[in-house]
Amino acid sequence: MKIAIIGTGYVGLVTGACLAKFGHEVICIDRNEDKINLLKKGEAPFFEPGLEELLSNPNLSFDLDFDKADIVMCCVGTPSDSGGNVDLKAVNDVIEKHASKGEFFVMKSTVPLGTCSKIDHPNVVMNPEFLRQGSAIKDTLEPDRIVVGTESAQSQQMMQNLYEPFDAPIIFTDLITAELSKYAANAYLATKISFINEFANFCESKGADFRKLQQSLKYDTRIGPEFLEAGVGFGGSCLPKDLTAILSQSDKNDFHVLRGADKANKIQKQKIVEKLKSQMALKGRKIGILGLSFKPNTDDMRDAPSIEIINALKEEGANVACYDPQGKSEHNTCQNPYEACDDSDALLILTEWEEFRGIDLKKARRLMKGDTLIDGRNIYDPDEVRAAGFNYLGIGL
């Protein structure tokens, strides 16, 4: 099939590259000429493991526009506007300019309830995306499930054929339920993270063993082992935005749990600064920071907890020296983890990059002026860090 993908962000580019791998003729469209030129040279406009290798597929092409396709897929962003509502400008542009060029119009962008049923096209499909940054290719090629919302039998058959090679259950439903299934999944994940963060904080205040508590939850198959890592709060371009979006579409008497998860996350991002302040006055201190991106294996800084944390540290009069293997931030000025440690009064771990697990803790301690290490992602064994001469504080540890 000839598939036109509109929008070359994470969802668009990864979906396009994966569908091309299955033999479809895929054209990726973006109005940003610089991005298209980069892609034509085989370079990805962002860091995502395994993506660049898939871009050299001859089935895959890149352009600013196209004439006709069997399927047009909308993969543009739906950011929050200043009032917390979903900004549908990019989606509406796609519908207006490109929907009529395809026999089928597939919405992959996360859109508010009721958006798809208003599209004037005989074959509209809502097919939400559940991929994570950092493992986007694997998530796309091996999805847990595929959700297809459509009210046309022809579209249902086409989607069944498109996803034939994927070994995953397909849930066919109506448009609004498919739209909601995306919000519900991200809202649940956000809630799970806020839940574990609050239990970590509670363990700390009561002197309970958080690692053992975590284990006792993870072995319960009804709860499951994933998304139970305590930390500095969830960030990224999706969980915070989608939580805000579902709340903005609801009545104030709906979703008490989600409102709590959102509030808990805002508080969690400040906890690490409070922890540091409990150890030292911050004015004039140099704080080394390892990790800026919102999660490992991405250079994405959107809604990264590090942004708020660094701002709070600066407001308290501290200076920062930061290192991240990829994070696209003005603060990412150190060449390696040890440079961030050099002469620092304290060290904060804000992203769990694999590289940080292997650093020489004794060397890090020797380079530092102070001895405080706050492990905002619980990546270290507290005993090992203490043995290297640090005053160790984790999240719940």
Interacting residues with ligand UGA between 334 and 393 (CB under 6 A): none
Considering Cα of 74, then 80, then 86, then 89, what sign does the dihedral take?
negative
228 scored as a contact of ligand UGA (CB under 6 A): yes
Q: Which of 43, 56, 8, 53 is nearest to 28 (CA)?
A: 8
211 scored as a contact of ligand UGA (CB under 6 A): no
- Residue 170: CB minimum distance to ligand UGA, A: 17
235 scored as a contact of ligand UGA (CB under 6 A): yes
Ramachandran angles phi, psi of 189, nearest 5°: -60, -40
Q: Which of 29-37, 46-54, 223-231, 384-392 is the region at the interface with ligand UGA (rule: CB under 6 A)?
A: 223-231
Of 102 and 231, CB closest to ligand UGA: 231
Contact 326, 161 (CB under 8 A): no
Q: Which of 125-133, 205-213, 255-263, 382-390 is the region at the interface with ligand UGA (rule: CB under 6 A)?
A: 125-133
Contact 36, 63 (CB under 8 A): yes
Written as six digits, the tokens of 116 are 């798809």
Of 129 and 345, CB closest to ligand UGA: 129
Of 187 and 347, CB closest to ligand UGA: 187
Catalytic residue among 28, 75, 203, 238: 238
Q: Which residue is nearest to ligand UGA (CB)?
A: 238
Of 186 and 191, CB closest to ligand UGA: 186
Interacting residues with ligand UGA between 239 and 268 (CB under 6 A): 239, 242
Q: Which of 118-126, 140-148, 228-236, 386-394 is the region at the interface with ligand UGA (rule: CB under 6 A)?
A: 228-236
Among positions 20, 102, 127, 129, the unique one binding ligand UGA when judged by CB under 6 A = 129
Of 227 and 338, CB closest to ligand UGA: 227
Q: How many residues bind ligand UGA (CB under 6 A)?
A: 20
Of 140 and 332, CB closest to ligand UGA: 140
- Residue 39: CB minimum distance to ligand UGA, A: 20
- Residue 336: CB minimum distance to ligand UGA, A: 22
Q: Which of 61-69, 231-239, 312-320, 322-330 is the region at the interface with ligand UGA (rule: CB under 6 A)?
A: 231-239
288 scored as a contact of ligand UGA (CB under 6 A): no
133 scored as a contact of ligand UGA (CB under 6 A): yes
**238 noted as active-site residue:** yes
- Residue 48: CB minimum distance to ligand UGA, A: 10
132 scored as a contact of ligand UGA (CB under 6 A): yes
Among positions 16, 112, 143, 236, the unique one binding ligand UGA when judged by CB under 6 A = 236
Q: CA-CA distance, 253 to 177, in Å (whole number)? A: 21
Among positions 187, 189, 272, 301, the unique one binding ligand UGA when judged by CB under 6 A = 189
Among positions 46, 130, 166, 338, the unique one binding ligand UGA when judged by CB under 6 A = 130
Q: What is the 3-state secondary structure (H, E, C) of the chain?
A: CEEEEECCCHHHHHHHHHHHHCCCEEEEECCCHHHHHHHHCCCCCCCCCCHHHHHCCCCEEEECCCCCEEEEEECCCCCECCCCCECCHHHHHHHHHHHHHEEEEEECCCCCCCCHHHCCCCCEEECCCCCCCCCHHHHHHCCCCEEEEECCHHHHHHHHHHCCCCCCCEEEECHHHHHHHHHHHHHHHHHHHHHHHHHHHHHHHHCCCHHHHHHHHHCCCCCCCCCCCCCCCCCCCCHHHHHHHHHHCCCCCCCHHHHHHHHHHHHHHHHHHHHHHCCCCCCCCEEEEECCCCCCCCCCCCCCHHHHHHHHHHHCCCEEEEECCCCCCCCCCCCCHHHHHCCCCEEEECCCCHHHHCCCHHHHHHHCCCCEEEECCCCCCHHHHHHCCCEEECCCC
Among positions 238, 307, 349, 385, the unique one binding ligand UGA when judged by CB under 6 A = 238
143 scored as a contact of ligand UGA (CB under 6 A): no
For ligand UGA, the binding residues (CB under 6 A) are: 129-133, 186, 189, 193, 227-229, 231, 234-236, 238-239, 242, 294-295
Q: Would you name the residues annotated as active-site residues? A: 238
